[in-house]
Structure 1
Amino acid sequence: MKLTHNASSALATSLGNALAQCATSDTAFYFKDREYRWQDVRNTISILDQLLRKQPLGDSPRVAFIARSRPMHISCLWGLLISDRCASMIHCYQSTAKIINDIRKEGYRALIADQQDWNEDLLAAVQDMGCLGIAITEHSVKLRHCPEQDAATPADVKGSTAPQDDSATAIETLSSGTTGAPKRIQLSRRNLAASTAAAKQALTQMNASASQPAPIISVLPLSNISGVYASTPALAMGMPMAILEKFQLDDWLAIVQRFKPVAADIPPAAMAALHQRQLPKEVFSSIKVVRTGAAPLDREVQAYFQNELGIPVNLSYGASEFCGVITSWSMAELAEYSASKMGSCGRALPGVELRISDPDTGAVLAANAVGRLEAKVNRVGPDWIATSDQARIDEDGFMWFEGRLEETIFRGGFKLSPLLIAEQFRRHPALADAAVIGVDEPRLGQIPVAVLVLKAGHSQPDNDELNRFARDHLSAPEIPSAYYFVDELPRTASYKISLLELKNLISELHKTPK
């Protein structure tokens, strides 16, 4: 396949070459009991390129993309990367009004969205803005709206006039939105190429013992870096993907039984659900390692996988700002240290340096001290980047995530970690899940409040029982001032607990502690 758009960056060239080498009859995607061939991917990318050339994008070839974790959406992302256009992600899990506001604010000239997202309001807004509209169908893409062209503008634009260099933006991805509105973060072609190469290396290592590599199983949202990080190596290696649009435990188990993967990528919340199910060890017989991240992992859940199932857990750390993972474990490190350093996110990857600083003074702290995590990542740039996360690094270079700085609860003179408090409540035999947040209190500043999910078949414990349990497992300042039960905890698209929605929920229900 040859695109008429002038693709010249190293990322575009490598991905384009990889696509050209894929056998047309081989499977590219498994999705909802259907298989998509690499020829389907080629056709979709070619048609998308032709449609996008109907609209001049100016010096910055940004294309708004309401991304869903579906085969043709991933194909469109690959097509944008191969043609050196910039995919600017928009979360699909929000109202049409918010989507329209985002499109207007950013001034996009082209929008790609699934057919189901093209309602009357979105179409009217796109028409009003003179924006090119492209609809993704189950099998391909089609034109939804083409603005009238000025007489001086050619009807078929041959490509952007912008220089296609490796420092230009490949993707504007969205942060997870754990504590507030998602932020749009620019990832350069060079950064994405480097993270793709690192992922290829990790996949090669994971599949070294497999006679026939299984498809890459993805349950991660395409609109943020986790989904992108899962999809680009698949194209670069010509490997098929088995996709779940959203994690569903039974569907995931069916995919595992069908393909027998050596490695499994599972979000921490999904690992907790598997822990509660207490499935036979034979169900996981093919899996030699579980890779997880993006959110804290309960120690009891990790111990279940490592001690009862005999599957080492590769808990990693990364962020959109770093274009993916910056700490992880090698298989050799898991074999040597997984028991003695349980809960660690591993060591810094090649090209990454880490340090811990005092959040108030900026002074670099010694080994095992808890403070602000800072990272210097070669693929991003030469500067140290201060995160909003608390962490500690031991004398062997292993890092432990200790919570987000802005989530710390300041109760009187005590600094409390909501993550550690919630972890203890998950040990209660009647509780399936727990989250803790701080609410304002005039005398103490803040007080912790627990939001709990009951296990099926269990009676709801009263406050006295919960307080007795808390006194046995927590210090006095850590004991919540109130307990609230919900059917499920609100989560972001990447399965992190949404503290913003949690606080709004409590506010709307007038559940403010007295």
Structure 2
Amino acid sequence: MLLPADRPLPLRLRRVLAHAPETIALTFEDRVFSWEYLRRGVEELDRLLAAAGAPDAHRVGIVLRNRPGPLAALVATVATGREVVVLSPFHGDVALAQDIAALSPQVVVADAEDWDRDGMAGAVARLAAIPLEAGEGERPLTARAAQWTPAPRPAERGDVAVLMQTSGTTGRPKRVELTYTKLTAAFETSGTPVATAEVRLRAHPSIVWTSLVHIGGLYFVLANVAAGLQTALLERFDVHQWAALVRRTKPRRIRLAPAALRMVLQSDLSADLFDGVESVSSGTAPLPPEDADRFTGRFGVPVLSVYGATEFAGAIVGWDLPLHREWGTTKRGSVGRPFRGVTVRVIDRATGEPLAAGAVGVLEASGAQLPGDSWVRTTDLASVDEDGFLYIHGRVDDAINRGGFTIVPTVIEDALRAHPAVRDASAVAIPDERLGEVPVVAVTIRDGVRCPDPGQLRAWLAQRLARYHLPTEIKIVDELPRTPSMKVSRPAVQALFEPARHTSA
């Protein structure tokens, strides 16, 4: 039986960290950090836990800010075969303390800012967990002075690499266990080496701005290390800071979630920013094909959609450049084909029977990186055409049942985004005494254009949608509420509409 640190993924990470320790592994703001900085994090984690009398402690809670110290703690935890318990810095003080209490990590790592938060130390003390501080100095991890004697509770050791949280777009984030086996399969499926002994450091960096508490941030930080790829880290997405980083680092491939892609589209950035960029990958949320077309038309770079989920340890369907060159025009709006080793199908929502090519139903998937050993049912409505291309039509749990008529919110959202004044839109359901549910929409307006009134936007929709799709209320807001991964938070959008109970006319 393999020891935890001898699994293929931890071995691969440690092999890369030791390959050329003085070369640059990470940039953050105006600072650079070598592979030695990350390698030292591995040594410090082992040393500090041994010094605390708990060398076998393996459940490591990390408050994952997009900063070098927490990133080093993440890499060290996986490189030593331990379990990362993801703790979100975006939670309020009470919620963060509740998460720590509920998840019972044996070790808690945070930077000084988070250790100073109300209730943080008390929550860790009640567990008698080992407190460590993440920093950006010579030692990425140091012991944190404690008013208690650390005596971490025993915890069963398994194959879990990351106890991840979902993005929480439809409610409070849930927890998902990503095992070493599944995470390794996800890396191998996407072409990131794990099993190979050869190490080759890459010259072109990868920009990571997605929060490390989201699969899109955590996955690519670990994948970059496994691939020997330098990470250019941003604490959060800001168009001009991101653009400055693109100009300085000259990446070949860029990742932009749909919300970030639209922010770039609405900026004053020039096309020469993308000189040398081969492609832009977009995932985490549906990307309207019109936005992809506008981006390519303006900046000359193809946009490659991907589809995945936290539960899948990353993407399972997507485009690459050869596929896009051959099929990009004829399969416009598709999120691509399944990756190697992944199979998808669409089933009837009521009977569970597989549907023919082109029919819309509930998406199921199977593959080595997915949970379980059989078909995994998603919450997405989808279709697969005769050439194996996947199209996403919305979420089953987002669908609005208006008196027996099913409304997919993206139909309303896409129609509003086509309005020349609309920047973005989110359609959600609110309760209705007569019809059960009715749609309402929050809308943001482009900078520098005259703001239409809600009646004008409703008239725009009336010319383009069936009558039952028309929202009962349109609210114009400064910004749509979003999760740390920049997905729209539908519960927060629903909270914008008061009273919570509605009576239709």
Query: Do both share a fold (TM > 0.5)?
Result: yes
SS in 2 for 1:46: helix
Q: Which residue of 2 aligns with 1:396?
A: 387
SS in 1 for 2:25: strand
SS in 1 for 2:451: coil
Asked if 1:144 is matched to 2:134, the reply is no
User: Bigger CA drift: 318-327 or 57-66?
Assistant: 57-66
Conserved 8 A contact 1:57-1:109: no
Q: Structure 2, unaligned stretches of length 5 or more?
A: 194-200
SS in 2 for 1:360: coil
Q: Residue type of the partner of 2:252? A: V
Q: Residue type of the partner of 2:296? A: Q
Q: Check 1:508–1:116 CA distance in 2 against 1; reply closer, same or farther (3 A cut).
A: farther
User: Bigger CA drift: 503-512 or 33-42?
Assistant: 503-512
Structure-2 separation of matches of 1:280 and 1:126: 49
SS in 2 for 1:215: strand
Q: Which residue of 1 aligns with 2:283?
A: 293
SS in 1 for 2:162: strand
Conserved 8 A contact 2:189-2:340: no
How many residues are aligned here? Answer: 492
Q: Check 1:113–1:411 CA distance in 2 against 1; reply closer, same or farther (3 A cut).
A: same
SS in 1 for 2:119: helix
Conserved 8 A contact 1:292-1:313: yes
Which residues of 2 match residues 132-281 of structure 1 at below 5 A? Answer: 132-139=130-137, 140-145=140-145, 147-148=148-149, 168-201=159-192, 213-277=203-267, 279-281=269-271
Q: CA deviation at 1:97?
A: 0.8
Q: Check 1:386–1:491 CA distance in 2 against 1; reply closer, same or farther (3 A cut).
A: same
Q: CA deviation at 1:200?
A: 4.2
Structure-2 separation of matches of 1:510 and 1:357: 34
Q: Which residue of 1 aligns with 2:9?
A: 11
Q: CA deviation at 1:145?
A: 4.2
User: Bigger CA drift: 413-422 or 124-133?
Assistant: 124-133
Q: Check 1:180–1:212 CA distance in 2 against 1; reply closer, same or farther (3 A cut).
A: closer
Structure-2 separation of matches of 1:188 and 1:6: 12
Identity of aligned residues (%): 32
Q: Which residue of 2 aligns with 1:324?
A: 314
Post-superposition Cα deviations, 1:56-82, rounded to whole Å, max 9, x if no partner, equal 669872111111122222211110011
Conserved 8 A contact 1:85-1:170: yes
Q: Structure 1, unaligned stretches of length 5 or more?
A: 203-210
Q: CA deviation at 1:376?
A: 0.6
SS in 2 for 1:382: coil
Which residues of 2 match residues 294-309 of structure 1 at below 5 A? Answer: 294-309=284-299
Post-superposition Cα deviations, 1:305-332, rounded to whole Å, max 9, x if no partner, equal 2334332211011111111110011221
Q: Check 1:63–1:201 CA distance in 2 against 1; reply closer, same or farther (3 A cut).
A: closer
Q: CA deviation at 1:177?
A: 0.5
Q: Which residue of 2 aligns with 1:49?
A: 46
Structure-1 separation of matches of 2:155 and 2:170: 38
User: Bigger CA drift: 99-108 or 261-270?
Assistant: 99-108
Asked if 1:116 is matched to 2:113, the reply is yes
Post-superposition Cα deviations, 1:105-130, rounded to whole Å, max 9, x if no partner, equal 22222111121101252112222331
Q: Which residue of 2 aligns with 1:441?
A: 432
Asked if 1:506 is matched to 2:497, the reply is yes
Post-superposition Cα deviations, 1:359-378, rounded to whole Å, max 9, x if no partner, equal 12111111111111000112
Structure-1 separation of matches of 2:262 and 2:234: 18
Q: Residue type of the partner of 1:220? A: T
SS in 2 for 1:72: helix
Q: Which residue of 1 aligns with 2:196?
A: none
Conserved 8 A contact 2:9-2:79: yes
SS in 1 for 2:6: coil
Q: Residue type of the partner of 1:244? A: L
Asked if 1:486 is matched to 2:483, the reply is no
Post-superposition Cα deviations, 1:128-152, rounded to whole Å, max 9, x if no partner, equal 33121111123222222454267xx
Which residues of 2 match residues 333-412 of structure 1 at below 5 A? Answer: 333-380=323-370, 381-412=372-403
Q: Check 1:198–1:507 CA distance in 2 against 1; reply closer, same or farther (3 A cut).
A: same
Q: Which residue of 2 aligns with 1:205?
A: none
Q: Check 1:244–1:65 CA distance in 2 against 1; reply closer, same or farther (3 A cut).
A: same
Which residues of 2 match residues 64-83 of structure 1 at below 5 A? Answer: 64-83=61-80
Conserved 8 A contact 1:267-1:293: yes
Which residues of 2 match residues 100-111 of structure 1 at below 5 A? Answer: 100-111=97-108
Conserved 8 A contact 1:357-1:364: yes
Structure-2 separation of matches of 1:422 and 1:324: 26
Q: Check 1:502–1:476 CA distance in 2 against 1; reply closer, same or farther (3 A cut).
A: same
SS in 2 for 1:214: strand
SS in 2 for 1:494: coil
Q: CA deviation at 1:53?
A: 2.8
1:34 to 28, 31, 46: 31
Structure-1 separation of matches of 2:363 and 2:453: 39
Structure-1 separation of matches of 2:202 and 2:180: 31
Structure-2 separation of matches of 1:306 and 1:71: 33
Q: Check 1:382–1:470 CA distance in 2 against 1; reply closer, same or farther (3 A cut).
A: same
Post-superposition Cα deviations, 1:287-315, rounded to whole Å, max 9, x if no partner, equal 12110101011222111123343322110
Conserved 8 A contact 1:133-1:144: yes
Structure-1 separation of matches of 2:155 and 2:128: 20
Q: Residue type of the partner of 2:318? A: S
Structure-2 separation of matches of 1:301 and 1:246: 22
User: Bigger CA drift: 124-133 or 488-497?
Assistant: 124-133
For the aligned residues, what is the CA RMSD? Answer: 2.6
Structure-1 separation of matches of 2:387 and 2:124: 54
Conserved 8 A contact 1:55-1:132: yes
Structure-2 separation of matches of 1:482 and 1:231: 42
Q: Check 1:485–1:260 CA distance in 2 against 1; reply closer, same or farther (3 A cut).
A: same
Q: CA deviation at 1:232?
A: 1.4
Q: Which residue of 2 aligns with 1:463?
A: 454
Q: Check 1:359–1:115 CA distance in 2 against 1; reply closer, same or farther (3 A cut).
A: same
SS in 1 for 2:218: helix
Taking structure 2 as the reference length, the TM-score comes to 0.91
Q: Which residue of 2 aligns with 1:208?
A: none
Structure-2 separation of matches of 1:221 and 1:51: 27
Conserved 8 A contact 2:190-2:339: no
SS in 1 for 2:94: helix
Q: Residue type of the partner of 2:141? A: V
SS in 1 for 2:496: helix
Q: Check 1:16–1:446 CA distance in 2 against 1; reply closer, same or farther (3 A cut).
A: same
Q: Which residue of 1 aligns with 2:58?
A: 61
Structure-1 separation of matches of 2:404 and 2:5: 58
User: Bigger CA drift: 135-144 or 422-431?
Assistant: 135-144
Q: CA deviation at 1:484?
A: 0.6
